Amino acid sequence: GESVGLHLPTLSVQEGDNSIINCAYSNSASDYFIWYKQESGKGPQFIIDIRSNMDKRQGQRVTVLLNKTVKHLSLQIAATQPGDSAVYFCAEKAGGYNKLIFGAGTRLAVHP
């Protein structure tokens, strides 16, 4: 069945380093992917999205890479800051009405 999963439940990085958070998806028909950031006690916050006709998209300090061949999605955060500490979810769009299927989440811990 459809599923979106994450390889690492926790990622610890030093402040200033680059972070890479990975995600695997199984539905090859999914055409839209989003990365959300969730801080403690808050709702998911949109970070960046990518459509299936692209393989890379860049934002401010963040880059999303999509490899449709192996159904893999990654989020790269440059110069990670303490404020980046949160749980990061990948989500895929399935069906025709913007229903999102979320992955399990990766906790990013940034150490000074």
Binding site for another protein (CB under 8 A): 31-32, 34, 36, 41-46, 49, 51, 89, 91, 93, 95-105
**φ/ψ of residue 84, rounded to 5:** -85, -10
Least Å distance between CB 93 and another protein?
A: 6
In the bound complex, what is the minimum distance in angstroms from residue 64's beta carbon to another protein? Answer: 13
Which residues are 110's β-sheet partners?
A: 13
Pick 1 or 112: Cβ nearer another protein:
1
Instruction: Say which residues have a Cβ less than 8 Å from residue 100's Cβ, sequence separation at least 6.
Output: 34, 91, 92, 93, 94
Q: CB–CB of 55/74 below 8 Å?
A: no
CB of 33 to another protein, least distance (A): 9
State which residue, 17 or 55, has the beta carbon closest to another protein. Answer: 55
In the numeric block, the tokens 């393989």 are attached to: 55
Nearer Cβ to another protein (43/112): 43
